Chains A and B, each alone.
Chain A
Amino acid sequence: MAPAPLLEAVDVSFTYGASTVLDRVSFTLGSSEVVSLLGPSGCGKTTLLNLIAGFRQPSSGRLLFDGAPITAPGPERAVVFQSGALFDWLTARQNIEFSLSCRGVAKAERRDVSEHVLELVGLKGAGGLYPYEMSGGMRQRVGVGRVIAARPRIMLMDEPFAAVDVQTREALQEELLRIHAATRCTIVFVTHSIEEAVFLSNRVFVLAKRGGTFDAAFDVALPAPRWDGLNRLDPEFLRLRERIYLTMKAGSPAATTGARAHALT
């Protein structure tokens, strides 16, 4: 038996009025895991992320963080949004220092942290730029850095790299893995790209189209570290991509009973 999980979902359901978005979802996340959520549009990925973040509460079931129910948003479960959602009136450094200012951290210490984080996200020397002076990739780096500086136990990312070009996207993915290696914080990553999910994660969850249940889960057994980007051509990588693709295409749990059973034990 593994040690107590960082996050535990037990039969978590969520409804908007009459429509059930999540139906008795159960899973656990351990420390330092990177888990991707895949699934068709509208299947409830963002909703699940919102529950973990604490923006909304489950309609039924238990969602436990460190053994306690999640009741409100907090920096230990911070969110990275698509296109950054940066504060346009603050510089990169001030954006990154935001969570520290909220906690009343002294200026000198804030400075130290933001210098360190700027370097970690590859923005050394760009701390004085405002978001409107940055490229899309830089903005996203600030978005990640702003959350990293809050020292979250779980980083929740909702299609964070969906709005940048392919080259920038791959660079950001590799950088995210490097950041993960440095911080060891758990990451829940929502994406529509199977390749991105397989590349980043050690587990991939596939949500079903209807009913908001988990279709399947896949273990990604690729050698780490992956941030040199080379193993995108690894046969195991390609095979896993194909398996997930076929699962999502079939959209039926029956096709992946094996993987499902495997994941839920």
Chain B
Amino acid sequence: MARPRPLPSGRSVPDTARFAGVGRWLLRAASLGVCLLAWQAAAQLRLDLGIVTFRNVPPPVEVAQAGIELLQSSKLFDHVTSSLSRVFAGYGLAALAGVMLGLAVGRSRLAGDVLMPPLEILRPIPAVAWIPLAVLMFPSSELSMIFITFTGALFPILLSTIHGVENVDPRLVASARSLGAGWGAILREVVLPAAAPSIVTGLAIGMGTSWFCLVTAEMISGQYGIGYYTWESYTLQNYPDIVVGMVLIGLMGMGSSALLRRAGARLTPWHSTDEARR
């Protein structure tokens, strides 16, 4: 992924360029402001365009008020913790299963032939499509939601791990064998760390999809959780709370992905400097 290049130190940047930098930030802020204003106006005027209507859309000011209210109530904590614990369980299991299966499939043709056909058939089915069956299969809705989260995260993690393992430099494995490493040591000490950057990418993508799946599952079969909160706000006609829920969902998904990437970059410090060196 392209990272924004750090600006050179202030002194070497010509004044016009620095001004352009500030100007661009102002422009971006203005764009955001105009959008908020347009939303406020459309909601206040109860704008009806025929195919889309703003009659029931809460204006941003009301949303902000509702958000502050939720922050001050104890409800927020319950919703957030139940969502978090579901993600923690489902995603955690998916990370474990995805990395283990990926290592096996990436290293052994036999494991690939045995494990991949059923997984390949299940892969194109979106995790969300599992919801009705999951509700039937699991005794509690809690378990079925964890299962959906697991399914959503499993495939990105599995596929990235396989990709990473298959692309391990064969000279590294050859070196390890020639230095006397056994089968298990090669897997643990060479293949796993060499594939780590790719695994981290898969973990970050999986985090995004598992949030997405969880929120959908919560809307349908949950009690508590921010997906449930968002849907409940709709049924109770607390329209500003809907948008508060949406924003919360976005923030938590983005936050956990960013946290993961940060942790991943710290665990694989050789990765980011790799390209520059070769």
Contacts and interface: CB of A to CB of B under 8 A. Distances in A.
Interface of A: 53-55, 73-75, 77-79, 81, 85, 87-89, 98-99, 101-103, 130-132, 146-147, 150
B50 interface: no
Interface in B161-203: 169, 171-172, 174-182, 185, 189-190, 193-194, 196
A25 B7 CA distance: 60
A253 to B, nearest CB: 32
A81 B180 contact: no
Contacts, number: 71
9 contacts: A75-B180, A78-B179, A85-B169, A85-B172, A87-B190, A89-B196, A98-B181, A102-B185, A132-B269
Given A87-B190, A103-B180, A132 B270 contact: yes
B72 to A, nearest CB: 46
Interface of B: 169, 171-172, 174-182, 185, 189-190, 193-194, 196, 268-270, 273-274, 277
Contacts of A79: 174-175, 178
Nearest to B273: A132
A245 B174 CA distance: 33
B193 A89 contact: yes
B180 A102 contact: yes
Q: Which 3 A-B pairs have the closest CB atoms?
A: A88-B270, A99-B179, A85-B171
B179 A87 contact: no
A87 B273 contact: no
Nearest to B173: A85
A89 B174 CA distance: 17
Contacts of A77: 178
Given A74-B180, A78-B179, A99-B180, 18 more contacts: A53-B174, A55-B178, A73-B174, A78-B178, A79-B175, A81-B175, A85-B172, A85-B174, A89-B196, A98-B181, A99-B181, A101-B185, A101-B189, A102-B179, A102-B181, A130-B269, A130-B270, A150-B179
A235 B272 CA distance: 49
Contacts of A131: 270
